[in-house]
Chains A and B, each alone.
Chain A
């Protein structure tokens, strides 16, 4: 491009960016990752403040029926309290909400799916 007052030669003004190209040969395309345990990955970072920043979808549809009270189970019940990192909690509660399951039914469904 010519300068306003014609004092700069075009050849000087133009920056030739084709020069000084960097050699990128020898780098193979990225490899497919080995599967990683996301729960372990999340748990390792949680103490440093790395928590989920993604909003959990909230079901606000008024027409959606709430959870119904179930029949009293015939076998004795036991209490299980689990402390977990926020992201795991959000995933689990989101899962139960999505399928409209109580937490114990959600655990049963996951165990069934895992073949346990």
Chain B
């Protein structure tokens, strides 16, 4: 597994190089418009994640064009939703561009609701409206949301993985772990489904 840190602020590189985590996760920083394709081509990991800044940029659109799957994180705020709308339109247009040379090329995507209230906590009316609009617009989304939890912030404060945070007692670690586990399960299930559609005879 590999993460290309394509955020100009390099948060994942900072987490990896300035911390004491024993994780084997490979992180590559310094990703720019000019070297994205080259760096991506040099990887042979099972999964390569490109972590991008939450802004509309050429680096983001090129990453979309080269991806097998796009995750669009959205918080329940008007600004975030408009940005997500741009990203969705960009994914669709990049897919059309890619189909000029390969008619079968698809760039599947899912919206991921992030920083949502933990289960049991009140849900804001903005979030309810957003969820309703996503359903009306038939925008594909993850069933699992990523709740706002202290543990996720602590990952970057302590520069450790979630599993390594055990001794730090940050919020409800078990619930945070459960949430991530469910999300990864859904992601893997989604990717398997995409693979099945892409190569129907190989299953």
**Residues of chain A whose beta carbon lies under 8 Å from any beta carbon of chain B:** 1, 14-15, 17, 20, 22-24, 26-30, 32-34, 36-38, 40-42, 44-45, 47-54, 87
Residues of B within 8 A of A20 (CB): 181
B66:A30 contact, CB within 8 angstroms:
no
What are 27 A-B interface contacts by the 8 Å CB criterion?
A15-B174, A17-B177, A22-B185, A24-B47, A27-B47, A27-B195, A33-B66, A34-B101, A37-B97, A38-B37, A41-B94, A42-B61, A45-B58, A45-B60, A45-B94, A48-B56, A48-B89, A49-B86, A50-B61, A52-B33, A52-B58, A53-B8, A53-B53, A54-B33, A54-B58, A54-B59, A87-B58
A28 to chain B, nearest CB (A): 7
Residues of A within 8 A of B59 (CB): 53-54
**Residues of chain B whose beta carbon lies under 8 Å from any beta carbon of chain A:** 8, 32-33, 37, 40-41, 43-48, 53, 55-62, 64-66, 68, 86, 89-90, 93-94, 96-98, 100-102, 163, 166-167, 173-174, 177, 181, 184-185, 188, 191-192, 195
B93:A24 contact, CB within 8 angstroms:
no
A1:B166 contact, CB within 8 angstroms:
yes
**Which residue of B44, B57, B185 contacts A30 across the interface (Cβ within 8 Å)?**
B44
B41:A52 contact, CB within 8 angstroms:
no
Complex CA–CA separation, A35 to B172 (angstroms):
46
B58:A53 contact, CB within 8 angstroms:
yes
A34 to chain B, nearest CB (A): 7
Residues of A within 8 A of B8 (CB): 53
Complex CA–CA separation, A1 to B173 (angstroms):
14
B174:A53 contact, CB within 8 angstroms:
no
Main SS at interface, chain B: helix
Residues of B within 8 A of A14 (CB): 166
- Looking at A27, A29, A41, A50, which has the most chain B CB atoms within 10 Å of its CB? A50
Complex CA–CA separation, A93 to B189 (angstroms):
46
Complex CA–CA separation, A37 to B96 (angstroms):
13
B61:A30 contact, CB within 8 angstroms:
no
Given contact pairs A30-B43, A44-B94, enumerate 18 new A-B contacts (beta carbons under 8 Å).
A20-B181, A22-B184, A24-B46, A29-B44, A30-B46, A30-B68, A32-B41, A33-B37, A34-B101, A37-B101, A41-B61, A41-B62, A41-B94, A47-B93, A49-B86, A50-B56, A51-B56, A52-B57
Tell me how many residue pairs across A and B have CB atoms closer than 8 Å: 110
Complex CA–CA separation, A72 to B47 (angstroms):
57
Main SS at interface, chain A: loop
**Which residue of A28, A38, A48 contacts B86 across the interface (Cβ within 8 Å)?**
A48
B58:A50 contact, CB within 8 angstroms:
yes
Given A22-B185, A41-B97, do A30 and B48 touch, yes or no (CB 8 Å)? yes
Of chain A, the residue at the smallest CB distance from B60 is: A50
Of chain A, the residue at the smallest CB distance from B33 is: A54
Of chain B, the residue at the smallest CB distance from A28 is: B46
Residues of A within 8 A of B37 (CB): 33, 36, 38
Given A30-B44, A30-B47, A32-B41, do A48 and B90 touch, yes or no (CB 8 Å)? yes
